[in-house]
Amino acid sequence: MAEPGFGRFMKDHREFFNALADEGWRPVPGYVGVEEKILSGRFDHPSRTGAVTRLSRWAAGASVGQPVSHGWCEEVFLVSGTLSIGTAAQETRLLEAGTYAVRPAHVEHGPFFTRDGCLMIEFLYYPPPA
């Protein structure tokens, strides 16, 4: 059951824990070499509510070959490594640790790839009703 202090974000109260520990990582469906660890929250896609904070770990050489779009907003902070916009054959921009992006729902982004691997923290949430 979500804590009432988080409202519609469906998050549970958790005190300090090692977010980088080996346990809890799982492959991201549809992507090769990309894993996620959910730190808090969940979505209720049918009601378009919820929020998720997760780590995203990309192995060296991992890529997302096509642009993507989704129904939730996202904020992404590149913690370590590098991520490139484009493909390995046609890189358009190299992103380094410290890079941040914030996107509203339904904005197309990508493709992406990483030569050396990277770690990102992502804040994903459905926009509140207008």
Average pLDDT over residues 76-87: 96
Domain presence at residue 18: no
Domain presence at residue 24: no
> What CATH code is carried by the domain that includes residue 49?
2.60.120.10
Domain presence at residue 105: yes
Annotate 21-41 with b (16+ C-beta within 10 A) or e (fewer): eeeeeeebeebebbbbbebbb
Q: Which domain holds residue 53?
A: 33-125
Domain tally, the chain: 1
Domain presence at residue 48: yes
What pTM did the predictor assign?
0.90
* pLDDT at residue 17, rounded to an integer: 94
Give tens-digit pLDDT for 84-123: 999 888 889 999 999 999 999 999 999 999 999 999 999 9
The closest alpha carbon to 82, from 98, 69, 64, belongs to: 98
Domain presence at residue 15: no
Q: CA 101 from chain center: how many Å?
A: 11
Tell me the C-alpha distance between 10 and 19, whole Å. 19
CA distances from 30 to 16, 27, 64, 90 (A): 31, 9, 9, 22
Tell me the C-alpha distance between 118 and 40, whole Å. 21
Domain presence at residue 28: no
The type of residue at 68 is V
